[in-house]
Structure 1
Amino acid sequence: MQVQNTIPGAQPTRGARRDEAGAATAARGAATSASGDSTPAAAPAAAEREAAPLRAARQREQGLSNRTVAGAQRTLNYLDELQQRLKVLQERLSRRGADGASKAATDGAQDDLQDALAAAAEAWQARRDETSGFLDDALRFDADGRSRVRFRMRGLSSAALDGGRAETLSFQTRSARRTLSVVLPEGGDAESAVRQLDRTLAPAGVRASMDAGGEPVFSVAEEQWATLQTSLSVSGGGIRYPAGQSQPVRLQRQKEALDPAQWGVADSEQARRTLREVSQALERVQRVAESLRRLLASEASATAQDGDWASQFAGDLNLALNSASYETYVAIAPALGGISRSRVVELLSLG
């Protein structure tokens, strides 16, 4: 007796989301299903092939985790609040410009303007806590909730790293328990040097990369920034850094997306400059908020597709089992034999 290589009556079902996000896994399953092996020994493999859609559902890139979705929603709520405060400040600055130097107008509005400025600054200062670390100071959303500070390290420019003499740099920081050393070879290029620096400084939580302009840029988790600023030191061979005793490294933090500390309303000219900066900041915040809305909408749509897929697959499987032949049970038994309640619960949680 030959056993068919599929479960009779049950068609492999994969939703569009799995075809998009899990293309590699799904393609492997589809290629195996098309092999046409019809020997008895192929029955376990056939059952495994029928389970490919379920396996793909687990192994595929799942889009956003529950934690990331929650972080995105919390970040969106924060951005909406920040937008409101910036709009109030923008309106009062516009009114100040329209009123000009009228004493009656400015005296009555100055306190309100100062209050709006303080409220916007307070909202920005609360960014990290209000978003649980999902939004960094450049308005970048971090899916892991580990917002990072990006900075330059004085002495490590592209010009200094590209084609220079050989030198060993030894870094020390409070977060690393040992000296972190990197050997920069003679004549090496800046890109290779940055990769070496990235590997060397990783134990201290510092990552290195090249920015769009081809310059080295470093980053560290936001909560580590204050400690790194005061504890990072380096010694070299007298080329890029002095030899001998380690010296503190000067770190230059990249400019934040909003800088309320520089906003002022003391006079009309200062208020006009602040109005331009607030308007630009408001546009950036609105763009980020809109991108998060699209992200959450896409995830909600994909989740609905997952539910439809699961329902269709369960219906097909139920139909096949209700009209099952001996060949069907032979094909499906190996796949079902090791399933426990915990695995079923885990599977159901994917939706």
Structure 2
Amino acid sequence: MQVDTHRNSLLTPSALAGGTIRQSAAIAGRQNMLDRKVAGFPDQPLISAQPLRYNVQLNQQLTHVQQADHFLQRTEKQVLQLNHAITRRAPIAEVQGQAEALQQLLTFRQQLSGGTVSRQLQVSLEARPQVKFTLRDGNTLLNNPQPEVLTFSLAGQKREVSAASLPAASSARQALLTLNQALGKWGIYGSLDSQRQVSFQVAEQDWARIDQHLSVKGGGERYPENQFFPVKPQMENGLEDDVQRFLKTPSVSTARQLLPCLDNALTTLSQQRRGLQRSKAAVQMRIESMATFSGSDTAQAASRQLAQQLNHESFAQLTQALAAQANVHCATVRNVLAQSQLSARAA
């Protein structure tokens, strides 16, 4: 569980929405929390003061949702401010300042979002964010009818090799399937869009190695033989690239050219935040389903019963009994206890 204690730091995203809670305040407020339904997402003192309330998987899901939502919220606000500055024809210095603030957010996207948001501002809570890219002459690579054996090489800390044998007169899908089998060992996966244009994707953390060290050797048809040829993948354009292009040559005309990119980004951000709201609702339902007590009365009654049992019974015997029950199905334990109660009443 990641808990932020520096809300004003750009490099440290706030995982919770309410700021720092002192431990003494959290302990003093526990009774009040039992008297009301959890209203925040999630209830901050329960996470900061009682980190073991939820299992590890749910804790990770909570953290990812919070980090993604916090980053998207900040990014959406900054995109709106930049869009507004351009549309009202603010001085170019003001527009440039808003663009630099947005660029700083996008530059530290991975840290601020906890690795949950991709370059295309797509949220990925379960899997790692992907980078989409194309290969030079990628469509020619798939549509060449000649057979050829392609040997791919990925250098870096160590050199790895993988080969793909493309049969004669193979379709684009068949050739792509063969390429995916060869490149899949490095996490590279290709697909065809509705216009039958090929694109590839790889985990963002692996992109730097793929970008700099992927090469291929062919048989003279698609690629030269006897030597490895750099593949030079081209990363798909993102908002970060558009803003950086404007900052290189800030002017009224380049600012106006940025407006369509900002509109598309706002649409994406809105869609992704709606998806996060659904994730929040699902997680909140899980939290509520895990609630042990419905109110303070039941919690106090259970505490009194436990205290009485600890006072009158041997703690070692109770621990041994609980350990034994933990290895037995809960339905079996209930049946045994029910039979014991019936026997006691009959006696």
Asked whether the two chains share a fold, i.e. TM above 0.5, the reply is: yes
Return the letter of the residue paired with 1:149.
V
The one-letter code sitting in structure 1 at the alignment partner of 2:258 is T
- Contact residue 135 and residue 234 of structure 2 kept, 8 A: yes
Q: Deviations over 1:150-204 (max 9, x none)?
A: 11112332x5424611100001111564321110111222212222222211223
Which residue does 1:280 correspond to in 2? 264
Paired residue for 2:206?
224
Distance 1:230 1:277 in 2: 28
Q: Is the 8 A contact 1:78 1:131 kept in 2?
A: yes
Deviation at 1:76, TM superposition (A): 0.8
Q: Note the alpha carbon deviations across 1:200-231, whole angstroms, 9 max, x for none.
A: 11223323333343333222222222222221
Q: Which amino acid aligns with 1:70?
A: T
1:125 to 94, 107, 115: 107
Unaligned runs of 5+ in 1: 1-61, 97-105, 309-313, 327-351
1:146-157 to structure 2, matched below 5 A, reads 146-157=128-139
Out of 324, 340, 343, which is 2:339 matched to? 324
The structural deviation recorded for 1:241 is 0.8
Q: Contact 1:156 / 1:240 at 8 angstroms: preserved in 2?
A: no
Cα distance in 2, alignment partners of residues 228 and 124 from structure 1: 22
Tell me the distance in 2 between the aligned counterparts of 1:74 and 1:257: 20
Q: What are the residue-to-residue correspondences of 1:238-317 with 2, within 5 Å?
A: 238-258=220-240, 259-263=242-246, 266-305=250-289, 307=291
Residue 333 of structure 1: aligned partner: none
Give the fraction of aligned pairs with identical amino acids, expressed as a percent. 23
Give TM-score scaled by structure 1 length. 0.62
Alpha-carbon distance between aligned partners in 1 of 2:200 and 2:128, rounded to the nearest angstrom? 15
- Residue 257 of structure 2 aligns to which amino acid in structure 1? R
Separation in structure 2 between the aligned mates of residue 189 and residue 268 of structure 1, nearest angstrom:
48
Residue 268 of structure 1, CA deviation? 3.8
- Please list the CA deviations of residues 213-265 of structure 1 after superposition, one character each: whole Å capped at 9, or x if unmatched: 33332222222222222211111111111111111112111121452113368
Q: String of CA shifts for 1:291-338, please: whole Å, max 9, x gaps.
A: 112212122224434558xxxxx9987764443289xxxxxxxxxxxx
Rounded to whole Å, the distance in 2 between the matches of 1:296 and 1:213 is 36
**Whole-Å separation in 1 of the counterparts to 2:97 and 2:222:** 48
The 1-side partners of 2:69 and 2:121 are apart by: 11
Task: State the distance in 2 between where 1:321 and 1:245 align.
Answer: 75
SS of residue paired to 2:190: strand
Q: Could you tell me whether the CA contact under 8 Å between 1:93 and 1:113 is conserved in 2? A: yes
Aligned match of 2:79 in 59, 81, 86?
86
Between the aligned partners of 2:285 and 2:135, the Cα distance in structure 1 is 43
Note if contact 2:92-2:250 (Cα within 8 Å) is conserved in structure 1. no
Written as runs of structure 1 = structure 2, the 5 A alignment for 1:44-55 is none
1:74 equivalent to 2:55? Answer no
Q: Secondary structure at the match of 2:88?
A: helix
| Other structure's SS at 1:149 match | strand
Cα distance in 2 between the residues matched to 1:173 and 1:316: 55
- Secondary structure at 1:93's aligned position in 2? helix
In structure 2, the partner of 1:201 is: 183
- Alpha-carbon distance in structure 2 between the residues aligned to 1:317 and 1:300: 31
C-alpha spacing 1:247/1:65, structure 2 compared with 1 (3 Å): farther
Contact 2:96/2:250 (8 A) holds in 1: no
Q: Are 2:92 and 2:251, in contact at CA under 8 Å, matched by a contact in 1?
A: no
Q: Which has the higher contact order (CA 8 A, sep 6+)?
A: 1
| CA distance in 1 between partners of 2:102 and 2:153 (Å) | 38
For the Cα contact (< 8 Å) 1:152–1:216, is it kept in 2?
yes
Letter in 1 for 2:205: E
Per mean C-alpha deviation after superposition, the further-off stretch among 126-135 and 294-303 is: 294-303
What is the rounded CA distance, in whole Å, between the counterparts of 1:114 and 1:163 in structure 2? 47
Aligned match for 1:164, one of 134, 145, 151? 145
The 8 Å contact of residues 76 and 289 in structure 1, kept in 2 or not, is answered as yes
The number of residues matched between the two structures is 250
* DSSP-derived class of the 1:179 partner: strand
Are residues 300 and 153 of structure 1, via their aligned partners in 2, closer, same or farther at CA, if it must alter by over 3 Å? same
Unaligned runs of 5+ in 2: 1-54, 293-328, 342-347
**CA–CA distance in 1 between the matches of 2:176 and 2:194?**
14
CA contact (8 A) 1:138 1:257 kept: yes
The aligned amino acid for 1:164 is P
Return the alpha-carbon distance in structure 2 between the equivalents of residues 283 and 297 of structure 1.
22
CA distance in 1, matches of 2:138, 2:250: 40
